[in-house]
Amino acid sequence: MNPKKISFVLALVVSLIVSCKSGFEKERIALGDPETFMVVDTLFRTGENRLTTRVDANWWGNAPGGFVVGYEVSTDNQQTWHYTTTQDSSFLLNIPPGQDSADVVVYVRAIDNMGRKDPSPASTLFPIKNSKPKISFLFSKPLGGIASQNPIAVFPVIKYSFEGIDPDGQQDLATYELYINDTNASAFILPANASAFTLISENPKANGGPCKVYINNNLNALPGSIDGLKHNAANVFYLRAVDKAQSKSGYVASPSIWVKKVSSDILVINAYNSSKISVQNFYTNRLKNNGILLFDTLQATEIVSSNYTQLQPDFLTQSRTFALFKKMLWFADDASFSFSLGQRTTGTFFDNGGALFMAVAINSSFDPLSNFLDWTPIRQLVNPPGGSIFRVNINSQVAPVNAGWPILKSTAIIPSARPFEIPATTAQVKYDSLYAGGIIESKSGQAPVAWNGISTVLAKRTLQSTGNTNFIISSIPLEQFNGNANADSLFKKIVVDELEF
């Protein structure tokens, strides 16, 4: 190529490079901070037309010569900023306490890929008003033929569930106020995360007084106490919700509930479904005839309008009720119901040194492998041979294992008697059979024969550390074994000598 032409081309290239560099520098100098935009800058609303405290906002941004990587949002007059990559969000805006409305500005600033922030954030003013919270009590309902559990008579352990709702959002709820019988009294404050409260009287044997307060299923009480509970009287509990703006719901009242004073250390639990009165009279007369004149009673299976009237709403609350007592006498004709209930509700009672006498008629439908027995002196039930059933004939005798105990005699045919095996003794507890025998094996088409296998029907559990008996159980209905008129002697051995009622 001609040297002159080469020189011309090089000069042209250099000129173009210099020209481009100059252009890039001018463009870089022209690059500015990112810009942020919102749909509107002010919403005009007054009075009841103001927005609720939960609002929606939308925004976008531009970055000259770059691109937007995110945004920062402030709802507290640019005191704090929160990063987001979205272009819309919902906000729960705060109204100053004691006010029912406010004008709150939401600020947004874009951030570009070089980390620069919009120095003049976009904003929208939201005129908001506070919405009053609401509250209601919650109650269980019958389900699948199973009765609900909303007691109308309890010992001084009371639990209610409730639900607080705030139209401005659940985050706007601040506290709940709880009152007993009198809304003019000082409120006991429950935290916003509470959905249930349990009251336990500090003096269950008094005529009333202060209660410790537990929320949800917590095992530790809140600080302080609430006063006003009356024993042996009807009580009503009041709640209202309070939001962060100190707006309060109306009061809601619980149904009236009868709170029974604890009059003794002994609780008699009637868990029979039939012949409730006559069976209870048998057991309570045995106590009275042995000089035990003062005791409390609980009707565990009483149902009215498909609702248990005295059974607590859940196992924890029932456990706390049983823990008010030192001794319990429990008789039942539904083994599944009573063993299941006892397994889940007597732990604290026993941990506190309680002693239990339980007489449960166990019918043939009870699952012999049920794990409901693992808390009792029964390791497992004895199954009759195939095609046979166990029963006790009228006038059959059940003999004591040890001398000094009376011989029992049946007064009726027991169609499904269930003998049982006792657990092995451990370093902590010792198990002993107290009564055995009287069991007949009956098979269709064959003459009944005496059962010669394991036939324990009454046993006890003793604590190795103290030597004290803390559980005696019978698998036969003792009200039908007083043919020798010596039931009082039996009960003296059980509730006086062994369990020390």
Domains of the chain, by residue range, sit at 35-129, 134-259, 266-498
How would DSSP label each residue in 384-423?
PPTTEEEEB-TT-EEEESSTTSPPEE-SS-BTT---EEPP
* pLDDT greater than 90 at residue 369: no
- Domain 134-259 fold is Immunoglobulin-like (2.60.40)
Does 108 have pLDDT greater than 80?
yes
What tokens does 496 get?
């006086």
User: What integer is the mean pLDDT of 392-415?
Assistant: 96
Element of type H or E holding 169: none
Residue 168 pLDDT grade (very low, low, confident, very high; cuts 50, 70, 90): confident
Q: Name residue 188's beta-bridge partners.
A: 178
> Are 35-129 and 134-259 equal in CATH topology?
yes
What mean pLDDT comes out for the span 136-152?
96
pLDDT tens digits along 50-93: 788 888 999 999 999 899 999 999 999 999 999 999 999 988 88
pLDDT tops 80 at residue 45: no
pTM value is: 0.80
Given a cut of 70, whether residue 96 has pLDDT beyond it is: yes
Residue pLDDT, tens place only, 434-450:
999 999 998 888 889 99
DSSP 171: G
Phi, psi of 226 (to 5 degrees): -115, 135
Among the four given CATH numbers 2.60.40.10, 3.30.1330.10, 1.10.510.10, 3.90.1170.50, the one describing domain 35-129: 2.60.40.10
Distance CA 22, CA 24 (A): 6
- Cα atoms found within 13 Å of the Cα of residue 153, Cβ hemisphere only: 16
pLDDT at residue 416 in the model: 81
Q: Beta strand 420-421 with 469-474: parallel, antiparallel or unpaired?
A: unpaired
Q: Which helix (H) or strand (E) holds 115?
A: none
* Cα–Cα dist 272/337, whole Å: 10
- Which of 377 and 371 is assigned the larger pLDDT? 377
Which residue(s) pair with 125 in the sheet? Answer: 42, 105
C-alpha span between 330 and 351 (Å, rounded): 18
Where b means 16+ CB within 10 Å and e means fewer, 342-374 reads bbebbeebbeeebbbbbbbbbeeebeeeeebbe
pLDDT at position 25 over 70: no
Rg of the chain over CA atoms, in angstroms? 38
Q: Tell me if the domain spanning 266-498 has CATH number 3.30.70.
A: no
